[in-house]
Amino acid sequence: MSKIAILGLGTVGTGVAKVVAENSRQIERRLGEPLSVKAILVRHFQEGPWRQLMTDDFDKIEQDQEIRVVVETIGGVGAAYEYTKRALSAGKHVVTANKQLVAEKGCELLELARRKNVNYLFEASVGGGIPVLHPMTQCLSANRIDEVYGILNGTTNYILTRMVRTGSFFSDALREAQAKGYAEADPSADVNGTDAGRKICILADLAFGRQVRPEDVPLEGISRLSLRDVKVAGRAGYRIKLLGRAIRLSGGGRTAYVAPHLVPEDHPLANVEDVYNAVMVRGNATGEVMFYGKGAGELPTASACVSDVIEALEHNGRREDIGWTEDPEGFVDPLEVQTRFYFRIEGSLTDAALAFGQVEVLSEDGETGFLTERISGHEARELSRNLNVLACLRVLG
């Protein structure tokens, strides 16, 4: 019998315990032996079905030779970082859904896992239950991945969906998301783009093989998005989506950022709604491949964690060859990348044309909404500096 420990008994930790118990037959068929939870690390003991497994002493887990895999569901980079290092150093595989820890410390932890000949796996850190990291590193390994982008946060996607469907203002849609449990009481990490930023870092690290540091990735969220722009975009055949993007540039450079985009309504991402996520991977051989599903939640995320547990145990004694080098050089400011831009200005079409030359007009009723030709972000800033800009968004494509 293979035995694991769970660190933390919040939403994901509880889900892992449930999946191991409820899907025991399927897991045993895959592993060839039963899988059980031997210990659950908690700060405060509580009554429930796993009360007899609870401990507040990580030393017991670290020193227990029967525990082969540690599932870290604590979150953050404090205790989770310390316990992960100790578990790997003790020769135990570690599985996590902790996107912040992987984005900030993944390179170091993967190197420690390599030295100890164990696995550090984190499929659940991006997209919850959507299998995307393993397909990127295994199924698409014959490709040079040129771009990864997508809807990486379900909370913001739900808010934008409500703004489109019902004409809700951002504040009203946010309150609805909080009432349904889709948004935290403090939603800043979601609506400001921090959550999506951590995920795009992980995707970029795996796609390009070199570290993209979270502090280098510009983040633009949706808190300042106007319902006016949602309506203008919709009438013109676009949907506004918050996207994380990582792009391989000519000359070996790379860039990544998070920002709202106008997405053409015939693009697959335009119809990804509510709390669903979708990731597009563009390989030089396959073209674009899309991964779609629920990006969060107790059981979807737990499913990805338990799949990683099985993966680690099946490859016991030999490591999954994943990782990236700690090489921040070659990261390019995304403002150097060319794209079309959407502007809404307080002014006339003449004002827009004088600043940008040829433009595509989307609305003209006291305020002018228009699309530019392909220009860099630096050019967009410079050309618009004498305009009264009410909104500026990138256009996908």
Which residue numbers are catalytic? 199
Q: 368: which 2 tokens?
A: 């002018």
Torsion of CA 309, 105, 330, 221, to 10 degrees: 90
Nearest alpha carbon to residue 116 among 343, 282, 317, 262: 317
Residues 6+ apart with CB under 8 A from 230: 160, 163, 164, 240
**Residue the block writes with tokens 């082969």:** 68
Instruction: Give the length of the chain.
Output: 397
**Number of helical (H) and strand (E) elements in the chain, helices listed first:** 14, 16
Give dist(CA 322, CA 217) in Å, integer. Answer: 22
Q: Give the DSSP H/E element, type plus range, for residue 353.
A: helix 349-356
- From CA 125, how far away is CA 301, in angstroms rounded? 8
To which residue do tokens 């429930």 refer? 48
CB 163 within 8 A of CB 230: yes
Encoded tokens for 289: 């491949």
Q: Which residues pair with 289 in a beta bridge?
A: 281
- Alpha helices (H) in 48-98, listed in sequence order: 58-63, 79-89
Sort strands 120-121 and 287-294 into parallel, antiparallel or unpaired.
Answer: unpaired
**CA 36/CA 20 separation, integer angstroms:** 7
Residue 138: alpha-carbon gap to chain centroid:
19
Identity of the amino acid at 208? F
HEC string for 157-191: HHHHHHHHHHCCCHHHHHHHHHHCCCCCCCCHHHH
